[in-house]
């Protein structure tokens, strides 16, 4: 009798540990090693703690289940075992192009039909185990025992392989690091300013719903001219911002890191930033994602171009509660059925907040930036002119309410209204400092969506005033961004190309927008980090003349050009 009880407890613990191992040890580990280049923390920050939690959870669950009546015990244990089996099948065979890193502003989306089919698979697996437990107890006992051992063994072997083959950076922080400093994030020049506010993923198609939901929400931009026909050229924060700040088009024959090295050493790029510095400008970019400019290279490659590049040995702080919560959510999101994945979808902002560096709190999330803007306020530097590029989350994540505060699951209209509140406060503070009138200011986005890639583009030249915002549908693109910045800074911009002011509404142009895609007709390529496959392998080029409606029609057709990538950023 005692032997039977011990065996029952042992089998119960084995089944429970399989589930907790998958959720708290193997899942987080596999996610970490597959994306370690994207995270600022290391494996030891969470692995040991989550392993202890996995064992404790299995032990507590065993104590609860082992002494229940036999039939109830078998049913509940069958449910746990069925979840483990279905979860393993989900991870290995049913997840397709799963967005683990929160790149989709809409969160997790799937068709109802796919969700139902997936749920049916889960239900069938769990019911089959329960039926076997009730009808064929001996077979059921052997099945859950041997299959649990088998799944644990193959996943442990895989885990050991991941640990042994991982890059050294997965285990050790560097003694020091190059990074973009946030020290002057709320500093502007007392003299000349060229300021660019980038609201990530703000399509120009978001404006009409915003103005319908919140009439008058953009009236404060009356001194700006609105370009309603701005082509972002590239879909994606990478390579768009790198293209904007260097004027270099993507060379798909080069790997991401090689292209990033090339563009920052390019003669045109060097000349542009040298001329800015010679004209007493500092050039500060504020984004937590230096990799969009550097690839896998050190941020040091930006030194001499951007003024806020620093080397620091400051201590790293880990928000452990958020780290454990985020790794569990990502693991559950990966393992659980489609119908519940939205509950575990992890936004970028969640893992962005796990690590901080003392004295360098880069504000990128809309509401964090706004909170500090209200608390600290802008202040001026009398020594230098300023070229400022402030990259904010914008509507890339719908987590901002209409007042600029944090709100989970906000609507797009609420988030875009909140962005406008933040922009208005920024402009008001420029006015209070007496630097608004002479400032050149651009409010734009790095890209729109896959099916609405044009972006908002408001621009105010120094001394420009209007009663109402002028609107133009002149055909322009981010190929004109760098020359336009040079023009606004008082440089000889013609050496960099044409500015947006060189075109009028009668000018017909051919423009090409490039959309990254995963095309099964082309070979899979690695991610630039080298630790996983890329989520794209080609750029589709769509060439059009006209406005957004003409672009939409082109996007419904086959691309005019397809360029294979050497490797993929995403």
Do 456 and 478 form a contact (C-beta atoms < 8 A)?
no
Separation CA 28–CA 162 (nearest Å): 12
434 in helix, strand or coil? coil
Predicted local distance difference test score (pLDDT) of residue 54? 97
Tell me the pLDDT tens digit for each residue of 352-394.
Answer: 778 877 667 899 999 999 999 999 999 999 999 999 999 999 9
Least confident of 27-31, 325-329, 353-357, 377-381: 353-357
pLDDT for 359: 65
Quick one: pLDDT at residue 106?
Answer: 56
Q: What is the mean pLDDT of residues 202-231?
A: 98
Please give the torsion angle defined by the CA atoms of residues 228, 233, 234 and 237, in that order, rounded to the nearest 10 degrees: -50
Return the closest-CA partner of residue 247 out of 273, 286, 281.
273
What is the per-residue pLDDT for 176?
Answer: 82
What's 383's DSSP letter? S
Contact 256, 296 (CB under 8 A): yes
pLDDT digits (tens, 9 = 90+) for 78-124: 999 999 999 999 999 998 767 666 566 555 677 888 899 999 999 99
- Give pLDDT tens digits for 62-79: 999 988 999 999 999 999
What is the DSSP secondary structure assignment for residue 400, as one 8-state letter? Answer: B
3-state SS class at 281: strand
Distance separating alpha carbons of residues 49 and 173, to the nearest angstrom: 19
pLDDT computed for residue 500 by the predictor:
98
Residue 34 has pLDDT above 90, yes or no: no
Query: Do strands 187-189 and 379-381 pair parallel, antiparallel, or not at all (unpaired)?
Result: parallel
Taking every pair of C-alpha atoms in the chain, what is the biggest distance, in angstroms? 92
Residue 42 pLDDT class (50, 70, 90 cuts): very high
Average pLDDT in the 236-240 region?
97
Rounded distance between C-alpha atoms, residue 385 and residue 408, angstroms: 38
163-187 tens-digit pLDDT: 999 988 899 887 788 999 999 999 9
Closest by alpha carbon to 339, among 28, 131, 24, 94?
Answer: 94
The pairing of beta strand 309-312 with beta strand 177-180: antiparallel
- Can you give the pLDDT at residue 413? 98
Q: Counting Cβ atoms within 10 Å, is residue 175 exposed (0-12), middle (13-18) or buried (19+)?
A: exposed
pLDDT at 238: 97
| pLDDT at residue 12 tops 80 | yes
DSSP output for 127-141: HHHHHHHHH-HHHHH
Question: CB-based contacts of 508: which residues, under 8 Å, 6+ apart?
Answer: 475, 545
- Please check the confidence at residue 424 and state whether its pLDDT lies above 70: yes
Q: Could you tell me which residues are beta bridge partners of residue 569?
A: none
Q: Cα separation of 483 and 272, whole Å?
A: 9
Rounded to 5°, the CA angle 284-286-292 comes to: 105
Please give the pLDDT value at position 108. 64
- Per-residue 3-state assignment (H helix, E strand, C coil) for 145-208: HHHHHHHHHHHHHHHHHHHHHCCHHHCCCCCCEEEECCCCCCEEECCCEEEEEEECCCEHHHHH
The residue-averaged pLDDT of 7-21 equals: 95
Full 3-state SS string of 312-362: ECCCEEECHHHHHHHHHHHHHHHHCCHHHHHHHCCCHHHHHCCEEECCCCC
- Mean confidence (pLDDT) of the chain: 94
Under the banding of pLDDT at 50, 70 and 90, the label for residue 192 is: very high
pLDDT per position as a tens digit, 265-324: 999 999 999 999 999 999 999 999 999 999 999 999 999 999 999 998 877 888 899 999
pLDDT of amino acid 66: 86
Asked if residue 223 lies in contact with residue 464, where contact means CB atoms within 8 angstroms, the answer is: yes
SS3 label, residue 513? strand
Reported as a single tens digit per residue, the pLDDT across 472-528 is: 999 999 999 999 999 999 999 999 999 999 999 989 999 999 999 999 999 999 999
């Amino acid at each position: 009798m005692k032997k039977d009880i011990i065996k029952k407890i042992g089998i119960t613990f084995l089944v429970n540990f399989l589930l907790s191992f998958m959720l708290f040890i193997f899942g987080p580990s596999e996610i970490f090693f597959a994306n370690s280049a994207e995270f600022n923390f290391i494996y030891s920050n969470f692995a040991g703690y989550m392993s202890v939690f996995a064992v404790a959870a299995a032990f507590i669950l065993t104590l609860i289940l082992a002494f229940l009546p036999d039939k109830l015990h078998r049913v509940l244990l069958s449910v746990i075992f069925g979840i483990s089996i279905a979860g393993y099948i989900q991870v290995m065979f049913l997840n397709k192009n799963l967005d683990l890193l929160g790149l989709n502003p809409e969160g997790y989306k799937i068709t109802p039909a796919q969700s139902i089919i997936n749920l049916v698979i889960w239900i069938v697996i769990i019911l089959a185990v329960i039926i076997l437990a009730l009808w064929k107890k001996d077979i059921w006992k052997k099945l859950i025992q041997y299959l649990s051992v088998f799944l644990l063994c193959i996943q442990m072997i895989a885990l050991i392989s991941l640990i042994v083959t991982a890059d050294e950076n997965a285990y050790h922080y560097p003694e020091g690091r190059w990074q973009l400093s946030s020290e002057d994030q709320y500093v502007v020049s007392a003299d000349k300013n060229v300021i660019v506010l980038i609201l990530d993923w703000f399509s120009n198609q978001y404006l009409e719903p915003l103005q319908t939901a919140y009439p008058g929400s953009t009236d404060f931009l009356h001194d700006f001219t609105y370009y309603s026909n701005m082509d972002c050229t590239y879909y994606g924060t990478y390579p768009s911002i790198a293209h904007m700040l260097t004027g270099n088009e993507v060379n798909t024959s080069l790997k991401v890191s090689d292209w990033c090295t090339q563009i920052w050493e390019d003669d045109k790029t060097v000349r542009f930033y040298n001329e800015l510095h010679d004209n007493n400008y500092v050039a500060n970019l504020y984004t937590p994602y230096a990799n969009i400019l550097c690839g896998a290279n050190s941020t040091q490659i930006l030194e001499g171009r951007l003024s806020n590049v620093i080397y620091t040995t400051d201590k790293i702080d880990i928000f452990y509660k958020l780290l454990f919560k985020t790794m569990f959510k990502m693991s559950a999101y990966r393992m659980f059925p489609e119908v519940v994945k939205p509950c575990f979808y992890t936004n970028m902002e969640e893992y962005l907040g796990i690590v901080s560096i003392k004295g360098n709190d880069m504000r990128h999330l809309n509401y964090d930036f706004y909170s500090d803007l209200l608390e600290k306020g802008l202040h001026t530097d009398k020594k230098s002119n300023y070229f400022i590029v402030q990259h904010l989350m914008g509507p890339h994540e719908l987590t901002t309410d209409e007042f600029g505060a944090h709100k989970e699951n906000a609507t797009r209209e609420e988030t875009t209204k909140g962005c406008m509140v933040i922009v208005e406060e920024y402009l008001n503070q420029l006015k209070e400092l007496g630097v608004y009138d002479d400032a050149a200011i651009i409010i734009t986005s790095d890209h729109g969506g896959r099916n609405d890639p044009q972006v908002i583009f408001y621009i105010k030249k120094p001394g420009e005033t209007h009663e109402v915002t002028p609107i133009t549908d002149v055909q322009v693109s981010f190929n004109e961004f760098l020359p336009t910045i040079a023009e606004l800074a008082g440089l000889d911009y013609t050496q960099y190309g044409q500015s947006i002011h060189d075109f009028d509404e009668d000018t017909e142009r051919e423009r090409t927008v490039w959309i990254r895609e995963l095309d099964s007709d082309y070979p899979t390529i690695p991610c630039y980090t080298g630790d996983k496959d890329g989520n794209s392998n080609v750029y589709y080029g769509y060439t059009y003349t006209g406005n957004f409606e003409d672009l939409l029609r082109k996007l419904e057709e086959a691309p005019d050009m397809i360029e294979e990538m050497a490797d993929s950023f995403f």
